[in-house]
A and B are shown apart, each in its own frame.
Chain A
């Protein structure tokens, strides 16, 4: 299986060829020529695999429940070794989940919740433990925040993450500033010894002008894949496999990790990767936390949501009603339909909408109205749950404690 990308060199920020190539790395996502991200090319370039129907069916069989919306609709569309994880699970063995967030801002939008919503489903369906890393150190370095501010943001983001419904008896949340040290740091050094300066430059596009904090950061995001980094949780379980749900722009970190793992006697982590959540104004890249109208935030009121969707959601409908009835909507670029693809659970209803809207019988206004309903319900539920997450709850999730029920 091709682990390496097909081009010499990696899809790092260091190998831009003007606007001819799309750029996908942990710090930048831009499509070619301001168009759409080509996911097939990305899969080929990165060397991961497509998540096909048969895997989704297998997941349903093994977990005894319908697959999550994101799996059914191809939001999580690529993987590395996910089939091996399923083999492990089928044999009655266990694995653990690892995901994370770079706490760069207080405001989270729906796109940020996507990996967490999916990870919660994985936790419930497979009944496995989860570690969540908050890379406050990374944001301190890349966004030039103070240490205090990045630590504060980490805790605030943790509250939203917890509100997604993670099970405290199976979840350990940690921030790098608090947790790095001990066995975790030992693993960081082991990983660091295996990656040359040239290699990180190739993977991540670092230059001679970048400070050494950035250059030595990648091992921090790599080692939570290894159970020995968490002796209070997985002591004695050195062979425990790891599954990492993440957005596909994080792939470089874990390509590096998978390369290093066998050399230090560890299992390679498996990955299950999602496409990018499109911005409200259209599918040219990731949502940006700095533009409030590019996204629906978890702090938005129903009024805000209605306003944003109606005003800014890019429509694939025609410019006049007559044309619309004649030609139908362009579902390829229509944002409301895409958003419904993420959040409308009912497959039958979604198919109906696509059919009617695509044929021109349903108008943009109706689709947007339905989207506003769906989003408002979601956001409201999130806000209610968020209100119940106090600092004490965060402390408990982040306490270095054993989780005896984690596989129960």
Chain B
């Protein structure tokens, strides 16, 4: 069901991507691979399949000598400390459809990997050629970083190069710098877009990061995304703000009342067309008064709460003063 090496190579040829293949016995580790191709001048890669607590997967592909600290990476992705683990062996088969020891960015060609996030070592960019497994342990594919990009773009992915060794502080004033690379599921795309966008440290321009899970047809225009983000941010889920939104409340009350009224009246009327326009007039007349009454209510309730809060604070201050004596 997953792509075979041959199918992959055929695709690379179609895309007119230059590559070289080296056959060797199956290798499970970078050291073993190095024995066969390490002397050829290209850059060996080590590839990890990682999983977070929300069952989202990440392929981290780095130069063999790059230090990867999972704890740091976890924080940078906004997963907290210790949010990243090595994925189970079954995941390799299920998600990447590659055998053990064969994790490779090229596995993202498989549809089963559509929700997997890809992090590439920026070190690849300065290498003439990089070595990856082309879906099998028995071959090493030599390909330039830009060719890899071309391939990734052709499967609807945006290549994301990262300084994997960097260890920036992550805290209240420094949001996780890689948070945008955490995957989002396709079905709930609009919500996740909002979550990802609002956690980007540089503010409004969340549009430059194209979500890896977006398929070409689902890409939204920048204007639509921006508007969505604004709407989401504005209608932040504060239940108290919802409950005290007078216009909304009045509209609901009037809609319910007029619907109920209409239902009853149209039963008796000869001309059922009169009823809706009558109800519109009634709505307009009553809505305005109702809104004013509700505002009085809101202000009165706030005042009572304010007083109560003031008294409570006063009491506790007096108590603590008297206790100090």
A interface residues with partner B (beta carbon < 8 Å) = 92, 124, 162, 165-169, 381, 384-385, 388-390, 392-393, 395-397, 399, 401, 405, 408
Of B28-36, B151-159, B288-296, the one contacting chain A is: B288-296
Chain B binding surface SS class: helix
Q: Nearest Cβ in chain B — how far from A295, in angstroms?
A: 22
Q: How far does the Cβ of A407 sit from chain B's closest Cβ, in whole Å? A: 8
Residue from B236, B244, B293 in contact with A169 in the complex, judged by beta carbons closer than 8 Å: B244
Question: A92-B230, A408-B236 are known contacts. Are A393 and B303 too (CB-CB below 8 A)?
Answer: yes
- Minimal Cβ-Cβ distance residue in A for B295: A165
Within the assembled complex, what's the spacing in Å between the Cα atoms of A395 and B311? 14
Is A168 a contact of B238 with CB atoms below 8 Å? no
Q: Is the CB of A396 within 8 A of B303?
A: yes
Q: Which parts of B166-193 form the interface with A (CB within 8 Å)?
A: none
Closest A residue to B307 by beta carbon equals A392
The 29 sampled A-B contact pairs (Cβ below 8 Å) are A124-B247, A162-B299, A165-B292, A165-B296, A167-B246, A167-B295, A167-B299, A168-B299, A168-B302, A169-B298, A169-B302, A381-B289, A381-B292, A385-B292, A385-B293, A385-B295, A385-B296, A388-B299, A389-B299, A390-B303, A392-B304, A393-B300, A396-B299, A396-B302, A396-B307, A397-B299, A401-B306, A408-B236, A408-B241
Q: Which residues of the other chain, A, contact B293 by a CB distance below 8 angstroms?
A: 384-385
Binding site for A on B (CB under 8 A): 230, 234, 236, 238, 240-241, 244, 246-247, 289, 291-293, 295-296, 298-300, 302-304, 306-307
- Which residue of A has the minimal Cβ distance to B296? A388
In the complex, A168 Cα to B234 Cα: how many Å? Answer: 19
Chain A residues near B238 (CB, 8 Å)?
405, 408
Question: What is the CB-to-nearest-CB distance from B171 to chain A, in angstroms, rounded to a whole number?
Answer: 19
Q: Which residues of A contact B244 (CB under 8 A)?
A: 169, 405
Q: Which 3 A-B pairs have the closest CB atoms?
A: A396-B303, A168-B299, A388-B296
Given A92-B230, A165-B296, 16 more A-B residue pairs with CB atoms under 8 Å apart are A124-B247, A165-B291, A166-B299, A168-B303, A169-B298, A169-B302, A381-B292, A385-B293, A389-B296, A392-B303, A393-B299, A393-B303, A405-B240, A405-B241, A405-B244, A408-B236
- Are B300 and A388 closer than 8 Å at their CB atoms? yes
> Chain A residues with Cβ under 8 A from B241's Cβ?
405, 408
Distance in angstroms from A389 CB to nearest chain B CB is: 8
Whole-angstrom distance between the Cβ of A147 and the nearest chain B Cβ = 26
A346, closest chain B residue (CB): B284
A-chain residues with CB within 8 Å of residue B230 when the two chains form the complex: 92
Q: Is the CB of B298 within 8 A of A168?
A: yes
Output the least CB separation between A398 and chain B (Å): 11
B residues less than 8 Å from A124 (CB atoms): 247
Question: A38–B6 Cα gap in the complex (Å)?
Answer: 86
Whether A396 pairs with B306 at a CB distance below 8 angstroms is yes
Chain B residues positioned under 8 Å from A166 (CB to CB): 295, 299
Q: Once bound together, how far apart are the Cα atoms of A405 and B293, in whole Å?
A: 20
| Bound-complex Cα distance A130 to B196 (A) | 33
How far, in angstroms, from A169 to B240 measured CA to CA in the complex? 11
- Complexed CA–CA distance, A405 and B236 (Å): 11
Bound complex: CA A256 to CA B191 (Å): 48
Q: CA of A392 to CA of B307 in the docked complex: distance in angstroms?
A: 8
In the bound assembly, the distance between CA atoms of A169 and B303 in angstroms comes to 10
Q: Chain B residue with minimal CB distance to A125? A: B247
Residues of chain B within 8 A (CB-CB) of A384 are 293
Residue of B nearest to A397 (CB): B299
Using CB atoms, name the residue of chain A closest to B310.
A399
Nearest B residue to A382 by beta-carbon distance?
A: B292
B residues less than 8 Å from A399 (CB atoms): 306
The complex places the Cα of A401 from the Cα of B307 at a distance, in Å, of 13
Task: Find chain B residues with CB under 8 A from A388 CB.
Answer: 296, 299-300
Hey, which chain B residues are within 8 Å of A169, CB to CB?
A: 244, 298, 302
